Amino acid sequence: MKRSVFLVGALLISGAVSGAPAKDLYVRGAFNGWGVDNQLVDKGNGVFETQIVISPGNHGFKVGRKDWSVEWVINPAASVTVATDTDYILGAQPGPEDYLFVRQTGTYRFGIDISKAKPMLRVVRVASAPVETIDPHRDHQQPVSVDYATFDGKQETARFSAKDASAPLRDYAHSSTMQLRDPGPQFVAYKERAGLPTVRSGNLAFDALFALAVTEMQQNSVSDIRDGNYTGGAAMACDCFATGEKWHYVWTRDLSYAADLGLAMLDPLRVMNSLNFKLSGYREGAVNPAQVAGSADGLQIIQDTGSGGSWPVSTDRVSWAFGAEAVLKTLPIAERTVFAERALRALVNTIENDRLAAFDPTDRLYTGEQSFLDWREQSYASWITGDIASLASSKALSTNVAHYKALTLAASLAGQQGQRALAKKYGTWAVDLRRAINQRFWLADEGMYSSLTAPHFDGAPMHKFDWLGQSLAIVTGVAGFERSRSILERYPHGPMGPPVIHPQQQGAPIYHNRAMWPFVTAYGLKAAAMTGNAGVADAAYESLMRGAALNLSNMENLEWLSGQPLLLDEKNPSLIGPVINSRRQLWSVGGYLGMVIENVFGISATATGVNISPFITARLRRETFGLSTSISLDALRLRDKTISVKIQLPPAQPGEGFYLVERISVNGARVSQHVNWNALPADSAVEIVLGTLAPGQQRIRRVNADPYATSGAVFAPGEPAIANFTRDGDGVRFDIDAGHNGTGTVYNVYRDGKLAAAGLRAGAWRDRSGTACYAVEAVDPASGNRSHHSATSCADPGIDIAQAIKDWGKPGDRFAVNAIAVPAAGKYKVQVRYHNGANQINLGISGGVKWMTVKGQAGRIVARQVIQLPHSRAPVVYSTPLTARLAAGTYSVELHDFYNMSYLQSNSTFSAAGGVDGIFNRFDIYGIRLLRVK
């Protein structure tokens, strides 16, 4: 994702970089969200300074302009850990981020002296003034404390109070003993506001935390947004939702999941505005290649900047459908009609082009990076950064479920708008995709879906798991009841909540790896409530409330075993994290609001009305609402209705499970659990009486480990490698290279994506197959945790044709290699050998996307499809492959234009390749390869 640019380093600047006045530069790092809040100010005599309050951590930082057109770094080839009170020479060139390690929160002065022969950087810790002790609860009523045990046997306390607990709208104070992630007071104050929902539960802490989420939703409601990569960092007018305290832009997946979780219920117009911001047509002057599908204007969903140059390396832009579906349920009718038409047009253009660029007809799945898990080093094999085309050709559970959601929404909207043929088409595609997901990703031995497949030449579903993908499969109905039940019982939970991936990756810092994200936990709660798993639901309730209570905010993420917003590992500073963490993260806020409104009080909007289905567990009743006989939610506005909800609670009792609904009434009249919009009064008082305690499902998989240790219980082995690969008349031979794995690790060999041998020791292995491709995975025998697969090695030597062309790919360019002799019939993979240095591998909109055609005799088309040539680090790499069955004979291979995200109007102000200087879909070609795989 866009923000990952800042996490792993260098931002692109094409060509040489000239010097710039230091007054035009900013200190930007993990300590300020990589924003532009800290400009270097002229202090005279050639000295420019800025002071920043920095909390503990190993903070990456850089010095650069707003638009990153200029960077000043210490070493363009390597990161430098900066010591305080030390001079460092700076050069005006791009390079990796440098680091400042901070043990205790303090003020640091960054100074650049340009009076010397070469600019010098010095960082100095500034003595802090004494901080006045403030008691935020002074003169407040009914202060309550909530204690939480910590991972290291200690205790942290959150304290809540109200200025007037009996007031219709309360003013709250909220403090915490835990060391906060960011500098500032150990307390926060917020208040309930007229026109927004409030909760009264008899538990002041619970009421306050809901008010906190509502307040943070308002804080994220802005009239303009900005991002350093767009419009030179200048503000863009938009009554939108910003992504968080440190993220001032609107990103497709963040917004869409946040809207689906809760925001669409409370501010549908702002959600609609934000969703519209994430749509774009083609930019002025763009030529629509003949192969591209959809309407002439090209209105479609934006894939934000990211891996390999964005779409279609990443294709989870279709997650937009989650937000669109949610907001269409709650928009006023006039806005809903207009937005529904626009949404369908954008979905059609997106779906049709994704079908061309990212759909694999062999297994009927979509390729593309995992949704939200878009920091490659954190959730993919370590070798993938040198071969982004392999990342592009892999398939992800979460992303395919998002495609399923896009198809089902498009089918529904087409039906509503009288386009029956289109509705039938997309409905059929959706059913087919659901079947393919269940056939391809389900691992029966694990009782869960695989998160992703290995790339081309392998393709096996790997024993890697993620909580978002599992949860989305459940809530969308892709997983049936029995599979949903199995997933909820088997996905691991730590003492503080579920990690977003399992198992964890060795040697990677905390962000997606070794982390829990509240919005993902909230999706897990939705899945647990749908399936009746009280154990998983209780873990989610506890995790979400604890995180907000101790951090005084709905944070971006937390280390999963300790629940800390920053796990300071001084022995391994490169692993400290989460490496970036923002308060009031939008989808965390949406997740908390949804937890209370949809799960606790059971209110959810549908296209036809309101569902009423609270999920109150025995533990929630005892521990959170133990002093109450009822709880209430007031002033909830859905469409043109104002709804109040009162739940009559049964007596608290021991045991586990959840309470069944005994009866529901609206304004005194009995109703079912679904009430049509036209049957719901403008002012609706909903009363719910809970009755029997149902046991439901209780099983939950618990794991634990020292958060500072690399335990085999929670970590995967490192992926092995194939070495000394040779082929002779008897087949193939290679060595299984164990890498850094211990002697107890065993290995599995995959041939063409199928398990060929299991439980092997490192060393020599041979096979008699003639044209297969091989990969190896490592297995921890004790835990069963498995590594990613190694890079593949293929038996066929391939047909290589050299043909070098620099900077190829302008609209209208044509590339052809003729008279290619294919000596034997078989299944072939055709690739382009190329280099794309338009941007870094984690950034940009300029991944190469072209249309390849293979022709036989007399120009007969044998195969054609989109291929990808993503940004690359290595000087020469291979594209994603076209698959073709070829008879012996002579062939030609041609390339023509397709499109990438630089063709969209929304990217016309992007600062790097494909932005302000125009469309960019070019790269260097070095030849092609035909590899026989069967």
Q: What is the per-residue pLDDT across 401-424, written as a single tens digit (0 to 9) for each?
A: 999 999 999 999 999 999 999 999
Band (pLDDT 50/70/90 cuts) for residue 131 is: low
User: Under a CB-based contact definition with an 8 Å cutoff, are residues 658 and 537 in contact?
Assistant: yes
Within 2-56, strands assigned E span 26-29, 41-44, 47-54
45: left (phi over 0), alpha (psi -120 to 50) or beta: left
Task: Calculate mean pLDDT across residues 724-737.
Answer: 94
Band (pLDDT 50/70/90 cuts) for residue 652 is: very high
Q: Which residues of 133-167 are buried (b: 16+ CB within 10 A; e: fewer)?
A: eeebbeebeebeebebeebeeeebebbbbbeeeee
Q: Mutual orientation of helices 586-594 and 534-551 as an angle, nearest 10°? A: 130
Q: Which residues contact 931 (CB under 8 A, 6 or more apart)?
A: 457, 794, 796, 798, 799, 828, 829, 830, 831, 881
More confident residue, 66 or 12: 66
Task: Calculate mean pLDDT across residues 807-825.
Answer: 95
Q: What is the per-residue pLDDT across 210-223, written as a single tens digit (0 to 9) for each?
A: 999 999 999 999 99
Using CA atoms, how far apart are residues 816 and 459, in angstroms rounded to an integer?
29
pLDDT at 163 exceeding the cut of 90? yes
Express as a percent the part of the chain with pLDDT over 70: 97
More confident residue, 792 or 91: 792
Q: Which residues contact 217 (CB under 8 A, 6 or more apart)?
A: 241, 263, 266, 267, 589, 590, 593
Which pTM was predicted?
0.94
pLDDT at 19: 45
pLDDT at 159 exceeding the cut of 50? yes
Using CA atoms, how far apart are residues 422 and 426, in angstroms rounded to an integer?
6
Task: Calculate mean pLDDT across residues 449-460.
Answer: 98
Q: What is the per-residue pLDDT across 337-390, written as a single tens digit (0 to 9) for each?
A: 999 999 999 999 999 999 999 999 999 999 999 999 999 999 999 999 999 999
pLDDT at 8: 33
Q: What is the per-residue pLDDT across 205-261, written as a single tens digit (0 to 9) for each?
A: 999 999 999 999 999 999 999 998 999 889 999 999 999 999 999 999 999 999 999
Give the residue from 783, 784, 795, 779 showing the smallest Cα distance to 719.
Answer: 779
